[in-house]
Amino acid sequence: MEEEKRTLEETQHPKRKKDNKEIKKRKKLVKKAFLIILAIIVIFFVALIANDYIILDNHEKLNLVINNRNVTTNLKNDIIIENNIIYLSKADVANFFDKYLYEEKESNQLVTTYDKKIATIGFEENNIIINGSVKNIYAHAMEKENVIYLPISEMKDVYNIEIQNIEATNIITIDSLDREQKRAIVSSNLAVKSSTNLIAKTIDRVKKGDSVIVISSDKGYSKIRTANGKLGYVKTDKLENEYVVREAMIEEKQIEGKVNLTWDYFSTSSSAPNRNGTNIEGLNVISPAFFYLDKNGKFQENVGNNGIAYIEWAHNNDYKVWPMFSNAEAAKESLSVTSNILNSYQKRQQLIEDIVTACVKYKLDGINVDFENMKQEDKDMYSRFIIELTPRLKEIGLVTSVDVTAPDGGETWSMCFDRHVIGDVADYIVFMAYDQYGISSKKAGTTAGYNWVKLSLNKFLQTEEIESNKIILAVPFYTRVWTTTNDGKVSSNTIDMKNINRVIPDNTEKKWDDNLKQNYVIYNERDNKKEIWIEDLDSLKAKVSLIKENDLAGVGSWQKDMESNEVWQMFQEELNLK
């Protein structure tokens, strides 16, 4: 019966047997294909492990490696090589070396600054002027297809770099000489890999005994640069005898810890005070009013024998001397006096030479630039002045500090500063945290309320993006006595911090304003209302707390001899000054 049934099924389904054969055949083909693929994978891994993976780079594209980083994809224009001179476009030089690179239309030159150097290069003559000295070179700037190019290989002294053109691999390397460089010896023949991944292409080969630059080491691998300029990875245990070729150049700060600066002001018709026998607790920088622009825009000094004695006194007490350089006399004459200098490259350079000469002559430690009351449209040119002054002072080991007002204010007193650029370029930017309500105010108010100082400081840090360790917060040693008459007229007169209590009538109640962090008094004198927002130890201590909270560079104070004596001890304790 079973046999009949099976025969019947085979008779009824002749296609089923054929399908089964096809399935078996397909399975054999799939298995064979799988084995072939597996064999290919095995061969691939064997080749990889045996370091026989093909080097894909055919060196067709010119690559630029700066400080062991391939920046080729960041280039804005092609690199040009002519007569063995390497040219980078102005945009690329600005991107990699000097973001303040400037085309000076007056003299048809490019002006570049870098660390301790300011240099000018033209479009015709084969020379470059570095910090006032002319150096002959083999090329000049040029323009091609509306793109300006600089001969970077002839500007090594400006940017403190070394350049190598590796023609075999079409790579140009540029290394900053102020950065550390380490080398090691390869202990065996190696393939240099593009990454530390198991599957990584070989980008170069090194032989036993080759010297390579060691960039970094981590988790058993070292990133290296080969003699061909290639950047890749090898196992760290394949390197030996690592040594430092070049130490990093670390610039020492003049002031260790917080700056404590005070201005010592005297008029252009007076002379420096005699401070022999005086010692100021915690002070480390003093800024006498030695230098100024006169009404004709000429650099003038007010040092003399008294000033020389003053400098000697300061240095004997271990104070750094950063004299104030003011444009106040020029500004009294006209805003145009300062503007005329700022808008001329030649006049700026002459002014800078005058400053440098005076600093060397009197063995000074820095300069404090206090230009105020300037045209808003000269904001960028004032920045240019600071950009060009700073490297000249750095060259001789001097500090550049620049005074600025609060970010919000009038065109000629506040809007004339590019605080971001000044804070980026100068060693210190000094925020003169006063006057919130000044002599021209038609409303009585505080000289420097805590909340206003804090708000303004946050704009320096957040909006202007200035590094906190570059900001000196300057506080006032004075306040104002405000008078409001019956007819509503408001006026004020300045009073020294040390004399405030002599002015306030006996039995006048002081009220603490916790927003301003100040004591406030109001009283009547004859028919007039008198108001004083008091600057005392408590108000100054509150403002100084912002220095600690924001890790600022230190404190400044305007001006010496207005203070009460205990303020110096407070500064010393609050800022941990020696």
Domain count, the chain: 3
pLDDT tens column, 32-63: 766 677 666 655 554 555 444 444 455 678 99
CATH number at residue 287: 3.20.20.80
CATH of the domain at 198: 2.30.30.40
Residues 189 and 157 in one domain: no
Q: Does the residue 196 lie in any domain?
A: yes
CA separation for the pair 359, 322 (Å, rounded)? 9
Judge whether 453 lies within some domain. yes
Of 165, 188, 216, which residue is a domain's last?
A: 165
Average pLDDT, the chain: 93
DSSP SS3 for 257 = coil
pLDDT at 390: 98
Are 543 and 458 in the same domain? yes
Q: Are 234 and 159 in a shared domain?
A: no
Q: Do both 225 and 264 map to the same domain?
A: no
Q: Is 292 a residue whose pLDDT tops 50? A: yes
415 occurs within a structural domain: yes
Q: Which two tokens stand for residue 346?
A: 């030649």
CB distance 253 to 290 below 8 Å: no
Could you tell me if residue 228 is inside a domain?
Answer: yes
In angstroms, the Cα distances linking 123 to 139, 141, 148, 465 are 9, 5, 10, 36
214 & 282 share domain: no
Pairing verdict, β 259-264 and 554-558: parallel
Residue 205 in any domain: the answer is: yes
Q: What's 85's domain CATH number?
A: 3.30.457.10
363 and 435 in a single domain? The answer is yes
User: Is residue 112 located within the same domain as residue 158?
Assistant: yes
Q: What is the DSSP string of 423-472?
A: HHHSSEEEEE---SS-TT-SS---SS-HHHHHHHHHIIIIIS---GGGEE
User: In angstroms, rounded to a whole number, what is the distance separating the alpha carbons of residues 221 and 51?
Assistant: 16
Q: How confident is the model at residue 241 (pLDDT cuts 50, 70, 90)?
A: very high
Residue 337 lies in a domain: yes
Residues 437 and 292 in one domain: yes
Question: Does pLDDT of 417 surpass 80?
Answer: yes
Reduce the DSSP state of residue 565 to 3 states and report it. Answer: coil
Q: Which domain holds residue 435?
A: 259-476+535-574
pLDDT score of 24 more than 70: no
Instruction: Please report whether residue 420 resides in a domain.
Output: yes
pLDDT for res 37: 73
Clarify whether residues 190 and 127 are in a common domain.
no
**pLDDT above 80 for 424:** yes
- Tokens read off for 224: 């290296």
Rg (CA), the chain: 35
* Percent above pLDDT 70 for the chain: 90
Domain stops at, among 117, 139, 165:
165
Element of type H or E holding 22: helix 14-49
**What sign does the CA torsion over 206, 209, 213, 219 have?**
positive
208 with 293, same domain: the answer is no
How confident is the model over 153-174, as pLDDT tens digits? 999 999 999 999 999 999 999 9
Neighbours of 246 (CB within 10 A): 15
Predicted TM-score of the model (pTM): 0.90
| Tens-digit pLDDT profile for residues 127-155 | 999 999 999 999 999 999 999 999 999 99
- Kindly report, residue by residue over 454-498, the tens digit of the pLDDT: 999 999 999 999 999 999 999 999 999 999 999 999 999 999 999
Tell whether 284 and 409 lie within a shared domain: yes
Q: Is residue 28 part of a domain?
A: no
Residues 270 and 235 in one domain: no
User: In the structure, what pLDDT confidence band is assigned to residue 277 with cuts at 50, 70 and 90?
Assistant: very high
